[in-house]
Structure 1
């Protein structure tokens, strides 16, 4: 079976959408995307990570979910019906102890781990705006200072003498492969390289299917809906300002329901244009980290699916405006009042 553990913002929602929307025909062809109940894959991953509070969930809502998902997958494989694919990007940041706990219910099953990665230029702005969608109000300049250029930066490991910034921990595909490959035999941890801008949806799907070991032709990737779309630069500026105004005025669960999912993802994202791009000044920092991580992957002998050159950082050009050089798309005060009214707290 296959555990697809992310990384975040690397096309995971696109892949999961295809797996879920074509669950019946995939199962008939010998590829199971296990269904236990709606949201079970996410709840199971949150249970593994112990991060239910971050996502506004109670411990009782996720308890036992991971074991149930794994049992469905394990039984399908044990019966000789084909392979099973379990996928969620929350798993990417698992500690070695959490990795061992995640693999325990699959003892006796041949497990392959798949890590998807995308160039760090697009990942930097995607990570920043995802934090904003989760309630942060920091500028990209602050994100760059506190995350991208922190002393415990791209090469810092667990013994670096400080806490590694979340961006580097979340996006270090070599470190993720190292943590997850410790629980599987050599050659069973795979890197899938995300395609460059402008590539068709079939490229990522073909690379992912190759790593998993099934025929990509079982599903037409053009049938996927818009998966976790990015916000426009002006909308990120708006959401940052709105978050400032909503601070401490909504509980976590309400914020995620009303602001993140209801407003940012359903109203702003579908109309996104002029998406933010990482400043040109970050190109060397991001490129150097990418090359070091690729060297570590090669040294470990992990199979790579796709062209490593596609991981070259995509940034703005010299002198082009940065992510902070944009005004909010609408009046933040008016939007904040509207969202508070929707939450019943006007």
Structure 2
């Protein structure tokens, strides 16, 4: 009897889930791969598209195992997206499939198990990029500020302190923020039992290197891609803010209060943070940690090193990329905060940029109305317009899922408990010149002026891509 080899063509290609974490070069890797998506496809690698569908599918997957009441509007709208993505992944029979979405690192055990089971008999690998905690914390805080958060940097450091010294479920919002983005030991514990230690690959972000592509070479080696095949480079990079602009955004989040998420992303995150304030990043002081913060980061790096070493996962890179040396006395003991002058300079830049942007929005709306023979007031913005505009937002992926109904912002700072937003802002501005508060109020007014204009422009764009209604009715 002749033994027949199993038909490999009937099995899915190996699936590589790049689960993050955030601020570990994920955007760089994603944009590099998608800029070369066609070329990778010709060599047998699938990168699912469009990107927005991958984001929505991830929101759907993260809701697995959660009660219905804990699902937000975005999660409910994304229902069923992961299963459709899983069908696409398991239908591919080439060399490999890469899904790179940093929100996946937040998957709880029930969600992670459901994700793996949805991929059938595919050979699944989990890739986790890991970076020095101090660098991640700095990056995550300024990212949080342009995502609507109100947590001060000092409270983020307090959250890290609590995580370092305590075990168990994070209790406060700062602790949850640290744990979600930097809880590498928990991430390893979640995924190793599902795919095996040999298929969990921890790729360290180089602490320093003369080779700007070293992270890509490490990642590509795991996935099996020849690094040289990705020749096209994505020009755009994530918006980065300096210390004054980050603090300005944080204070504006309190001044504005609750706003519709789509309006926030379009006007605050994209227009103000990415298009206006990021232009002056090289003129501002960078976000830095003080000596206690650096030492906390070193202690957490040591915890991460231990989790990597004892778990038996595949380490690509070096544990030296996660420094554990205590900071010297050359690092200031006090945490740097922006001066009033720095905040006012950032506010003046924001004011100028918003005024120009509002004029530009009005001109573009008028032109679109004329082009479309638009008569009367604009219709209310509907889901179609929101989807269209969201696809134009390159940074949409930074907007992570909410914590859900248990998201209690009062624990951001004990001094804020029981205070309404106005009183909270007044407390945080009490040691600053009154001009800072006046500037915040003025900028918030401009943001509120720009929000409906941005929504109307999105509506008109959506109408322009739809069949024109009959003029006979």
Work out whether the TM-score is over 0.5: yes
Match for residue 244 of structure 2 among 218, 234, 245: 234
The CA distance in 2 between the partners of 1:156 and 1:168, in whole Å, is: 12
- CA change 1:161–1:21 in 2 (3 A) is closer
Shift of 1:59: 3.9
Residue 266 (structure 2) aligns with: 257
Match for residue 303 of structure 1 among 314, 328, 333: 314
Question: Which secondary structure state, in structure 2, belongs to the residue aligned with residue 116 of structure 1?
Answer: strand
Judge conservation of contact 2:61–2:115 (CA < 8 Å) in 1: yes
Shift of 1:136: 2.0
The CA distance in 2 between the partners of 1:323 and 1:101, in whole Å, is: 44
Judge conservation of contact 1:44–1:69 (CA < 8 Å) in 2: yes
Match for residue 331 of structure 2 among 318, 321, 325: 318
Residue 65 (structure 1) aligns with: 81
Which structure's relative contact order is higher, taking Cα pairs within 8 Å and 6+ residues apart? Answer: 1
The CA distance in 2 between the partners of 1:31 and 1:319, in whole Å, is: 48
My pick for the range that moved more, 259-268 or 87-96, is 259-268
Residue 100 (structure 1) aligns with: 113
- CA change 1:285–1:99 in 2 (3 A) is same
Shift of 1:323: 4.2
Q: Which protein is richer in helix relative to its size?
A: 2
Residue 90 (structure 2) aligns with: 74
Shift of 1:98: 0.5
Instruction: Please report the TM-score for the alignment, with normalisation by the length of structure 2.
Output: 0.65
Residue 41 (structure 1) aligns with: 54
Judge conservation of contact 1:121–1:313 (CA < 8 Å) in 2: no
- CA change 1:186–1:124 in 2 (3 A) is closer
Judge conservation of contact 1:235–1:268 (CA < 8 Å) in 2: yes
1:266 aligns with 2:278: no
Shift of 1:267: 2.2
Question: Which secondary structure state, in structure 2, belongs to the residue aligned with residue 324 of structure 1?
Answer: coil
Residue 191 (structure 1) aligns with: 202
Residue 133 (structure 2) aligns with: 120
Residue 154 (structure 1) aligns with: 164
Judge conservation of contact 1:120–1:313 (CA < 8 Å) in 2: no
Shift of 1:49: 1.2
Shift of 1:292: 2.1
Q: Aligned Cα RMSD in Å?
A: 2.8
1:178 aligns with 2:189: yes
Instruction: Please report the TM-score for the alignment, with normalisation by the length of structure 1.
Output: 0.88
The CA distance in 2 between the partners of 1:228 and 1:344, in whole Å, is: 25
Q: Deviations over 1:132-176 (max 9, x none)?
A: 11212332123222x1222xx136444x58565320342122321
The CA distance in 1 between the partners of 2:166 and 2:308, in whole Å, is: 16
Residue 344 (structure 1) aligns with: 452
Judge conservation of contact 1:122–1:313 (CA < 8 Å) in 2: no
- CA change 1:292–1:138 in 2 (3 A) is closer
Judge conservation of contact 2:302–2:324 (CA < 8 Å) in 1: no
Match for residue 207 of structure 1 among 206, 213, 218: 218
Q: Deviations over 1:214-238 (max 9, x none)?
A: 21111137x1333323211111121
User: How many aligned positions are there?
Assistant: 335
Gaps (5+ residues) in structure 1? Answer: none
Question: Which secondary structure state, in structure 2, belongs to the residue aligned with residue 344 of structure 1?
Answer: helix
Q: Select the structure of larger CA radius of gyration.
A: 2
